[in-house]
């Protein structure tokens, strides 16, 4: 089958920062002499004390360590704000669009953002928060979320954003894991016309996290919320009392910047730790090159700040580059399925960066919602979070972009800080569904099951052979877990957890997770996490969770559940369990299927045969493979007979 290839449009090849020849040259240089390459790239930042050291990294157990620019000092908030004031104080930094189009948008200039950040940073300091302290942020998509992040960066506090869709239980776990003494929240969030009770959730969470001394509450919707004396303070009035100037803290390049919890194949979500200098260089550089970003352009990354995409490509990348970044509080289909493209027209967005799951949902609504808008301002489209199927890619390209906008399909992870494998719009002929080629300094390899390097066209496990500046530095509170999770599956390499194919032209095609992580609407979920939520229910004896194909979400959640013997598994219990999981983790973990079974298929040594469970969840029951090692093969017959997917 011949694959379509879309050549780089002539205008892009001529005008882009990086054309194909330049990409090749810079990539080579970044691999051949990383120190020289990164010394140059790091000059894009303002350093307080310039670094002399550049790359000091090893993935080997004997001398494991990752340090970049380690003797340099800088402040990231100053890099996002102060240095733009001389020339661009009145440029809009954040263009905020509310959930409801009838409400007023907000335009915040660099001068105003700088002031807000300084006031809020002073407020944090007045509550005893300083360098190294953890600040949990549980906010909707409002400009104050960016203010909070930048204020933390200004005083050297480490922010830990918890997505506002997570439950109080999940929030409590994340507050406790990093011992935050302070939580920043709002009375309510708004999404798709519905209110999200953020402050009430915080109140419930704090019953389990008694170490929190301060809760700063933003009055966003004006809802009536409880106020705990001395602990809860009002954001606007307390920040208003503070001075609008705040000296930025001098941070070492390797001082922590933020923690972001993400799911892995085992155990509780882990706190991915990013540090200051390397992350900043990576975020600024990739944002500029991947989006061919120039000051003055209106840029919109539709991710939530609760995820890493929001950190790097809503806030830090665009602001370091002096850009105008759109922040959107709402959802793609409220009030109707034209919403994204109406916002594009309203703000004359030139670059739009979104997730395949949203595109598939919109595609299902029909083209008319798109074609009734102009979208003439769009020049470039981006995709992130999960593999984009060629059908959705083509729709994005033809209907949304009218065949005129390149698509950058960026592969990366919370752990990588920014884009790792991606086309560059002026350099890369596009193949729908392929993330194309590595970013500067990234050395991807495909390995087989034995860890042998595969050459040429091949499919295997995607590893990265050497460090890049934006790489995570540790798991919060558990450095050993960092090493064990990422560097022991294949010794000496960073293991991504993804499978990947490389075609004869050297293009990379991510095939999805090959560990026990599933990707639901671009949100990462550990199957173990959902299983432990299920078994925490008093009627459940055992549970196994796997991914299932889902037309819109990419993957859905398929849960096999064995109840306690005295319990009658029925539809009522199904509904109860679904509600339970939503409460324990959040709505994003809602199981799509609950399949009751008297037992799970296990080997004689008691190991659950997930391969079989995956096949049944994929409704691919023709080839279950070898079942001879099962302790009780009848379990599989029962599962097949009761499968809700079977015709």
As annotated, the binding site for ATP includes 385-387, 409-414, 498, 513, 524
For 73, the token pair is 């000092």
Q: Tokens 């194309």: give the residue.
A: 436
> Where would I find the beta strands (DSSP E) of 39-153?
55-58, 65-68, 73-74, 92-97, 106-109, 134-138
Summarize the annotated binding site for CoA as residue ranges: 191-194, 309, 333, 521, 582
CB nearer to ligand PRX: pick between 249 and 498: 498
C-alpha to C-alpha distance for 288 and 418, rounded to whole angstroms: 12
Give least dist CB 413 to ligand PRX, A.
Answer: 4
Summarize the annotated binding site as residue ranges: 191-194, 309, 333, 385-387, 409-414, 498, 513, 521, 524, 535, 537, 540, 582
Q: Restricting to residues 36-75, name those near ligand PRX by CB under 6 A.
A: none
| Non-local CB neighbours of 325 within 8 Å, separated by 6+ positions | 93, 94, 95, 299, 300, 301, 314, 315, 318, 319
CB nearer to ligand PRX: pick between 58 and 413: 413
Q: What is the DSSP letter of 586?
A: -
Q: Where are the alpha helices (DSSP H) in 190-272?
A: 198-208, 235-240
Q: Restricting to residues 530-549, name those near ligand PRX by CB under 6 A.
A: none
Region binding ligand PRX by CB under 6 A among candidate stretches 76-84, 202-210, 494-502, 600-608: 494-502
Give least dist CB 325 to ligand PRX, A.
Answer: 17
Region binding ligand PRX by CB under 6 A among candidate stretches 3-11, 476-484, 507-515, 541-549: 507-515
CB nearer to ligand PRX: pick between 37 and 393: 393
Q: Where are the alpha helices (DSSP H) in 101-248?
A: 110-126, 143-155, 168-177, 198-208, 235-240
- Cα torsion 478, 482, 483, 485 to 10°: value is 120
| Non-local CB neighbours of 550 within 8 Å, separated by 6+ positions | 520, 556, 592
How many positions of this chain bind ligand PRX (CB under 6 A)?
24
CB nearer to ligand PRX: pick between 217 and 280: 280
Q: Do residues 160 and 253 lie in contact, with contact meaning Cβ atoms separated by under 8 Å?
A: no
C-alpha to C-alpha distance for 332 and 313, rounded to whole angstroms: 18
DSSP state string for 589-626: G--SEEEE-SS--BBTTS-B-HHHHHHHHTT-GGG---
Residue 128, judged by CB atoms within 10 A of its CB (0-12, 13-18, 19+), counts as exposed
Q: What is the DSSP letter of 374?
A: -
CB nearer to ligand PRX: pick between 387 and 586: 387
Site string for ligand PRX, 303-342 (x = CB under 6 A): ----xxx---------------------------------
CB nearer to ligand PRX: pick between 199 and 524: 524
Among 427, 383, 429, smallest CA distance to 409 is for: 383
CB nearer to ligand PRX: pick between 264 and 323: 264
Region binding ligand PRX by CB under 6 A among candidate stretches 20-28, 36-44, 512-520, 607-615: 512-520
Q: Restricting to residues 368-427, name those near ligand PRX by CB under 6 A.
A: 383-387, 409-414
Region binding ligand PRX by CB under 6 A among candidate stretches 5-13, 315-323, 361-369, 510-518: 510-518
Region binding ligand PRX by CB under 6 A among candidate stretches 192-200, 220-228, 446-454, 505-513: 505-513
Site string for ligand PRX, 251-290 (x = CB under 6 A): -----------x----------------------------
Give least dist CB 198 to ligand PRX, A.
Answer: 22
C-alpha to C-alpha distance for 450 and 545, rounded to whole angstroms: 27
513 belongs to the binding site for ligand PRX (CB under 6 A): yes
Give least dist CB 308 to ligand PRX, A.
Answer: 5
Angle (nearest 5°) at CA 244 between 239 and 250: 105
Q: Do residues 440 and 516 lie in contact, with contact meaning Cβ atoms separated by under 8 Å?
A: no
CB nearer to ligand PRX: pick between 492 and 512: 512
Q: Restricting to residues 589-608, name those near ligand PRX by CB under 6 A.
A: none
Return the residue of 161, 359, 435, 594 that touches ligand PRX, per CB under 6 A: 435
Element (DSSP H or E) covering residue 508: strand 508-513
Q: Distance between terminal CA atoms of the chain?
A: 31
CB nearer to ligand PRX: pick between 95 and 421: 421
Among 384, 390, 377, smallest CA distance to 418 is for: 384
Return the residue of 16, 117, 225, 510 that touches ligand PRX, per CB under 6 A: 510
Q: Which residues bind to ligand PRX, rule: CB under 6 A?
A: 262, 307-309, 383-387, 409-414, 435, 496-498, 510, 512-513, 519, 524
């Amino acid at each position: 089958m011949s694959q379509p290839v879309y050549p780089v449009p002539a205008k892009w090849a001529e005008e882009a920062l990086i054309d194909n020849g330049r990409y090749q040259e810079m990539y080579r240089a970044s691999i051949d002499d990383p120190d020289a390459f990164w010394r140059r790239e790091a000059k894009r930042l303002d350093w307080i004390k310039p670094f002399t050291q550049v790359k000091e990294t090893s993935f080997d157990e004997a001398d494991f360590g990752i340090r970049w620019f380690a003797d340099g000092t800088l402040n990231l908030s100053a890099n996002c704000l102060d240095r733009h004031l001389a020339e661009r104080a009145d440029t809009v930094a954040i263009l905020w669009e509310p959930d409801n189009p009838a409400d007023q948008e907000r335009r915040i200039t660099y001068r105003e953002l700088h002031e807000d950040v300084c006031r809020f940073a002073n407020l944090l300091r007045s509550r005893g928060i300083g360098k190294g302290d953890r600040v949990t942020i549980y906010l909707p998509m409002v400009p104050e979320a960016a203010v909070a992040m930048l204020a933390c960066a200004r005083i050297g506090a480490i922010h830990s954003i918890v997505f506002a869709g997570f439950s109080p239980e999940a929030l409590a776990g994340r507050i406790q894991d990093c011992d935050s003494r302070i939580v920043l929240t709002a009375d309510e969030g708004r999404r798709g016309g519905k209110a999200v009770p953020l402050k009430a959730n915080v109140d419930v969470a704090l019953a389990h996290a008694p170490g929190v001394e301060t809760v700063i509450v933003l009055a966003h919707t004006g809802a009536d919320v409880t106020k705990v004396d001395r602990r809860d303070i009002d954001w606007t009035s307390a920040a208003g009392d503070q001075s609008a100037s705040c000296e930025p803290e001098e941070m070492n390049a390797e001082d922590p910047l933020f923690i972001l919890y993400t799911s892995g194949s085992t155990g509780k979500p882990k706190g991915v730790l990013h540090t200051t200098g390397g992350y900043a260089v990576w975020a600024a550089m990739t944002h500029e090159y991947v989006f061919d970003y120039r000051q003055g352009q209106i840029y919109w990354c539709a991710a939530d700040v609760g995820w890493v995409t929001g950190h790097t490509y809503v806030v830090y990348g665009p602001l370091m580059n002096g850009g105008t970044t759109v922040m959107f509080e709402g959802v793609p289909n409220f009030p109707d399925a034209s919403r994204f493209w109406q916002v594009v027209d309203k703000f004359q967005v030139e670059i739009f960066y979104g997730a395949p799951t949203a595109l598939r949902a919109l595609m299902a609504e029909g083209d008319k919602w798109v074609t009734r808008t102009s979208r003439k301002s769009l020049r470039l489209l981006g995709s992130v979070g999960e593999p984009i199927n060629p059908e959705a890619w083509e729709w994005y390209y033809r209907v949304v972009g009218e065949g005129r906008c390149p698509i950058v399909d960026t592969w990366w992870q919370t752990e990588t800080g920014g884009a790792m494998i991606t086309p560059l719009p002026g350099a890369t002929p596009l193949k729908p569904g392929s993330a194309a080629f590595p970013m500067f300094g990234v050395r991807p390899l495909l390995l087989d099951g034995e860890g042998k390097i595969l050459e040429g066209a091949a499919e295997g496990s995607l590893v990265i052979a050497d460090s890049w500046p934006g790489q995570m530095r540790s798991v919060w509170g558990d450095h050993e877990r960092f090493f064990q999770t990422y560097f022991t599956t294949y010794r000496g390499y960073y293991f991504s957890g993804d499978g990947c194919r490389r075609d004869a032209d050297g293009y990379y095609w991510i095939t999805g997770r090959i560990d026990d992580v599933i990707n639901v609407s671009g949100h990462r979920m550990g199957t173990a996490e959902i299983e432990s939520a299920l078994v925490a229910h008093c009627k459940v004896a055992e549970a196994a969770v796997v991914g299932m194909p889902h037309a819109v979400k990419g993957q859905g959640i398929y849960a096999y559940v064995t109840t306690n013997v005295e319990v009658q598994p029925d539809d009522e219990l199904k509904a109860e369990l679904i509600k339970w999981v939503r409460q324990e983790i959040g709505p994003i973990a809602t199981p799509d299927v609950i399949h009751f079974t008297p037992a799970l298929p296990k080997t004689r040594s008691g190991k659950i045969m997930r391969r079989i469970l995956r096949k049944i969840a994929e409704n691919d029951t023709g080839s279950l493979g070898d079942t001879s090692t099962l302790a009780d093969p009848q379990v599989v017959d029962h599962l097949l007979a009761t499968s809700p997917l079977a015709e």
